[in-house]
A and B are shown apart, each in its own frame.
Chain A
């Protein structure tokens, strides 16, 4: 209250003060700008507002008078001895009135720039910060007129159960979206209150190396470090990060940019088998495929055949044990052989028509072909640690190099599994933040209904009750499924494209706010949050983790290596003492399928001595034998046999 006021509320018939908006003027040299939070105090009433628009004009009635005054000479116009009287007039939207009742027009009082305490009250952060059960999560610094104040989100409204989800919009190429999410996750992990339980994050890396270095520290500027200190955060990378990436079609090299050997320890292959895929067959089969007949047969396979012992004496004497695509192929082969034997009458097997069976077989085998590297034929899966997610752990699934079909499968299965486990409360954590970028691609506002879009919609509508929270990002919010972004309790906006700002979704923003959004510098955001009655601009520091571009420079991908070297690297990621030469010797002359199987088993088992275990899995080397042709029984010599010839 000791600082002098910076302005004064003015109201005219044309520009009246209302309970939701007011106007005030300031000196020409005022520090007030768009987004500044101000306080009006008059006669026992305090009103907080955020500046949404600004005007400057002089007492010049018409431009013609300026021309007249300068004799038509623009140079003379700048040399007038007296500067015209001019005004700096600002429009502010009311954030909060105290007392809140009776709700009245903003009084015509003096205006102050908000300080820390004012910002806390203006944004209603007093209700959830401070005290033993504080639920504030720092989102950035509000800065205006040389004052800086931390701004907090309420984690009850960010991670549920009151509201949940966060959506971030911004143009590509400024690293705002990814950086903001990385910073916000840092903030959540460091400040999520104990009484709210545990939290983990699962991020889908959908392009380039964006999220590939969350466990590596960034070199931050002193200014960034200062902002961290002001927000009460530590500029540290995530301590517990796990990377999952499918393999390349060769089955040993990882399909990710995080292949530098120094990063191998926490980078695992993501491999799924038949069981994992079949449950989500509808994701990978297109709409034409999933007719009622195909669906029925897939159900039959899922419920009666896959993962069970299936006995059908008509097909063969011993039971089928279908665990992998290879086993499934064997099962289909048996059906087709049986039908062939039946001949003309063999068109239906157990009420399923032969054409339907063939179609399902073709589509399923196509999955393992198109998603080679993610889906394995041999049934040995390597999955996320369902049931043992650790508190404050980050799981990054790198799908950047995957075929779109396989990406859909990964999204659908992982989110469904998260939901299942959270419903059963056996995931290992109480809340999971799922980060999905490129929502324009995965949940577009128009186009065909896809399983992934349905899944994202379901997640945004029902996830908060489970603790399953969607952090999503896209370039054009207007082109995302409205309910997906509409369900996001918190909205974050980076620099925006002017065309995007012209869409109806931004009609509530003032022209000045739109201009500010269109020119927002790196590291600044506009935040909407249920507690804030108006959007607020904040600045945030660089995330404490290496950015994609820097990470690639510091940890260049090793590129695809030979099969033997890839195997050696994978084993060395389990135990650095294993020498590549010993691995080369162990696998020399072995079939690649056997080596892959042994490697997969070793990774899955994680034994104390990985190399010994790996060699054991390879089995005994069988020496080649030269087959000596047997001497046959000599032919009966022709001769007289008494019968005559």
Chain B
């Protein structure tokens, strides 16, 4: 899906009396989360502990990786109400013989704006699915951007869920998802789906436990816990330190692993952790998140970005 024709779209919108605009919002590339602590319930151990997971262990093939990308671009204003054009895409790449091959892929082009702005644009937005922003408050470009970003996050999440569903229909191998499994009851219940979350905006512990959680040594995991979540599905989780963090950041190499409750037992947590340790290489440079970004997920992102082309 090439987005390089936005200038012609802007001309069409200008022809309809709208004001062409051009900007790439800071949050255009992905979801934003609020920093908070949501205490979790321990499933393993009576108090939070560190467990060495043992030596890295290769993942039996095949293993599939699911991720998605999003882009948001301002193209016009209808008065003070912005009109955004967005692209979302998701793909599953499966590893066979150490090679990653795309087995599922989907993408959408979206126009995001208040309903009145969308109406003013008329057929200039033909070919784009529309996402209407709430109109219960007056137009506010900054607030509308926040809402557009959230709407886009949700749209991308839905696309990823849809792709995960389609994958499971045809494949029974392990699926490694970038992010939380709690977004979907299907994922949360799937015993061969694993979520790897790089984000630590929501932390599951406080005080001394948080110290222990964040100061996890490399090659160790925390006790398994059940995170409190606003999302719809219960999962079990643990933190895993992939790389030495000292002299770097506390979050360096720290990932949160989410599995279905059925897999949230210590032996399985150790096994999956060892397998994830094996996924540290090859590292995902030059991505700045390489310490937490598994190469398979990185590869899906690279693939989707390559296919999306450049936003004009």
Q: Mark B263-287, 1 if CB is under 8 A from A, else 0.
A: 0000000000000001111110110
Q: Is A66 an interface residue (CB 8 A)?
A: yes
A560 to B148, CA, bound (A): 103
Contact of A82 among B100, B285, B286, B302 (CB under 8 A): B100
Contact count A vs B, C-beta below 8 Å: 48
A81 near B283 (CB under 8 angstroms)?
no
Stretch at the interface among A39-47, A68-76, A340-348, A606-614: A68-76
B283 near A69 (CB under 8 angstroms)?
yes
Q: Is B95 an interface residue (CB 8 A)?
A: yes
Q: Which chain B residues border A70 with CB–CB below 8 Å?
A: 281
- Contacts A59-B302, A69-B282, A76-B281 given; indicate if A81 touches B58 (C-beta within 8 A): yes
Least Cβ–Cβ distance between A491 and chain B, in angstroms:
43
A61 near B286 (CB under 8 angstroms)?
yes
Q: Is B296 an interface residue (CB 8 A)?
A: yes
A80 to B282, CA, bound (A): 6
Q: Which chain A residues border B59 with CB–CB below 8 Å?
A: 81
Q: Which residue of B lies closest to A68 (CB)?
A: B283
Contact of B296 among A62, A66, A69, A82 (CB under 8 A): A82
Residues facing A in B253-312 (CB within 8 A) are 278-283, 285-286, 290, 295-296, 299, 302
Least Cβ–Cβ distance between A38 and chain B, in angstroms:
23
Q: Top 5 nearest A-B pairs by Cβ distance? A: A69-B281, A69-B283, A83-B98, A65-B285, A80-B281
B-side interface mostly: loop
A402 to B280, CA, bound (A): 74
A61 near B285 (CB under 8 angstroms)?
yes
B302 near A65 (CB under 8 angstroms)?
no
Q: Which chain B residues border A82 with CB–CB below 8 Å?
A: 95, 98-100, 279, 282, 295-296, 299
Residues facing B in A217-261 (CB within 8 A) are none
B98 near A81 (CB under 8 angstroms)?
yes
Residues facing A in B171-229 (CB within 8 A) are none
Q: Which chain B residues border A388 with CB–CB below 8 Å?
A: none
B283 near A83 (CB under 8 angstroms)?
no
A60 near B285 (CB under 8 angstroms)?
yes
Q: Is A79 an interface residue (CB 8 A)?
A: yes
A65 to B295, CA, bound (A): 13
B299 near A85 (CB under 8 angstroms)?
yes
A69 to B279, CA, bound (A): 10
Q: Which chain A residues border B95 with CB–CB below 8 Å?
A: 81-82
Least Cβ–Cβ distance between B67 and chain A, in angstroms:
14
Q: Which chain B residues border A77 with CB–CB below 8 Å?
A: 281
A81 near B302 (CB under 8 angstroms)?
no
Q: Which chain B residues border A60 with CB–CB below 8 Å?
A: 282, 285
A65 near B278 (CB under 8 angstroms)?
no
Q: Is A84 an interface residue (CB 8 A)?
A: yes
A38 to B259, CA, bound (A): 50
Q: Which chain A residues border B282 with CB–CB below 8 Å?
A: 60, 65-66, 69, 80, 82, 84
A61 to B285, CA, bound (A): 7
A83 to B95, CA, bound (A): 9
Least Cβ–Cβ distance between A73 and chain B, in angstroms:
10
A376 to B177, CA, bound (A): 97
Q: Can you show 5 pairs from A to B with CB atoms below 8 A apart?
A: A66-B282, A69-B281, A69-B283, A81-B279, A85-B302
